Amino acid sequence: MIMKENRYLTFALTKGRLAGKTLSLLEQIGIDCEQTKDRDSRKLVFVNEALKLKFFLAKGPDVPTYVEYGAADIGVVGKDELLEQGRRVYEVLDLGFGRCRMCVCGPADAKKLLRHHEMIRVASKYPVIAKDYFYNKKHQTVDIIKLNGSVELGPIVGLSDVIVDIVETGSTLKENGLEVLEEICPLSARMIVNRVSMQMEYEKIQEIILKLRHLLEDPKGGEAI
């Protein structure tokens, strides 16, 4: 059995933009991982031996899975994935970056389809969020079509009337002749924790949460762990 003091605390980070921002935030509270700084590396797991920390990079939708099953103690992932998957993890912190909005989007003339509660087709990478919004909030029966990316294609090629998707700058919509028709909710990066790890590694994890919370409240006052 692995002795508790030799145990690594493992972070699952969302590959891409969120990972970079997460690592720079962690660095500000003294959690540094030199190995992650090699931009050309294809390596997936990084270790800080001195602090007994491990970091790995995963696809966003998989981060809550790693954390729920305990393969990672801590994860950083967009709120969109947490809403979509409803995994059994603790959401402990809004990290304040990766801010964007979940919206119903489409061509301007699709607005009337939303007003008249028509039976419409909705394409989305987020069928659970889309269903919850249309069925439970708008009480509108719709046909939801799951896509895996480039969702803006839906209304353009005639697959769907509207889409439910993330809007950040709005430029993807604009360049494709679409617009925000209704806003569902704001989104941002969240820190999540495995439920067992929260008990077994309470002190270590609480220390990280508290330091991050202080840093987010007072960005100039970060202290080393």
Radius of gyration of the chain (CA): 20
Cβ-proximal residues to 222 (8 Å cutoff; 6+ apart), any chain: 28, 29, 211, 214, 215
Identify any residues that bridge with 187 across adjacent strands, giving them in sequence order.
Answer: 100
Question: Shortest approach of ligand PRP to residue 62 CB, angstroms?
Answer: 15
The answer to whether 24 contacts ligand PRP (rule: CB under 6 A) is no
Q: Return the ∠ at Cα 215 (arms to 202 and 38), rounded to 5°.
A: 85
CA distance 203 to 217: 21
For residues 140-199, which are near ligand PRP according to CB under 6 A? Answer: 149-152, 165-172
Q: Rounded to a whole number, what is the distance in angstroms from the first to the last CA of the chain?
A: 28
Q: Least distance from C-beta 172 to ligand PRP, angstroms?
A: 3
Pattern 101-140, ligand PRP, x by CB under 6 A: ----------------------------------------
CB of residue 190 to ligand PRP, shortest distance in Å: 17
Complex with ligand PRP: residue 124 or 197, whichever CB lies closer: 124
Residue length of the chain = 225
Please state, in angstroms and as integers, the Cα–Cα distance from residue 109 to each residue in 72, 172, 178, following that order: 46, 18, 10
- Would you state the structure tokens that stand for residue 209, as one six-digit string? 């949460």
User: Smallest distance, Å, CB 101 to ligand PRP?
Assistant: 9
**Using CB atoms, what's the residue nearest to ligand PRP?**
149
Residue 163 CB, nearest approach to ligand PRP (Å): 9
Q: Which is nearer to ligand PRP, 172 or 188 (CB)?
A: 172
**Alpha-carbon span 36 to 184, nearest angstrom:** 35
- Count, residues near ligand PRP per rule CB under 6 A: 12
**Could you list the residues that contact ligand PRP (CB under 6 A)?**
149-152, 165-172
